[in-house]
Amino acid sequence: MESTPRLKAAIFVRALIRRAEVAGASAFIVRKGAEDAGAVILRLSRLDKTALVLNQVRMGDGKLAWARPLGDWSAEDTAHAWCDKQVKFDPDLWIVEIEDRQGRAFVDEDIV
């Protein structure tokens, strides 16, 4: 099976932030990870004290998708604590916060 080249994390993050801003949302890097291969976590905020955390996963068929490790929307404090815990396990991790009242993630992959 031929693998698709992986987009560098820094390029992906910059493109995601730009995509969100063009759509009228705010997005920023909370934690900068490894430029080339750091994993990315998205923390979505609807600005109502709730957050949705998404992390990248590979599906059984090899496709990239986004999982909801905390389920649906949870308290912002819970989302922040979960992200902080992940950084302890993966120092190369990127965390991107997207503030959008509609709760959009601005990713093309499936959210599972």
Domain assignment present for 81: yes
- Is residue 98 a contact partner of residue 45, using CB atoms and an 8 Å limit? yes
Domain count, the chain: 1
Domain assignment present for 111: no
* CATH number assigned to the domain comprising residue 54: 3.40.1530.20
Q: Which residues contact 70 (CB under 8 A, 6 or more apart)?
A: 52, 53, 78, 79, 82
What number is the average pLDDT over the span 37-66?
94
Task: Please say if the pLDDT value at position 4 is more than 50.
Answer: no
Range of the structural domain that residue 70 is part of: 9-99
What number is the average pLDDT over the span 62-77?
96
Averaged confidence pLDDT in the chain: 93
- Among candidates 27, 30, 12, which has minimal Cα distance to 66? 12
Domain assignment present for 107: no
What number is the average pLDDT over the span 51-64?
94
Domain assignment present for 56: yes
- Per residue in 70-87, pLDDT tens? 999 999 999 999 999 999
Domain assignment present for 77: yes
pLDDT at 85: 96
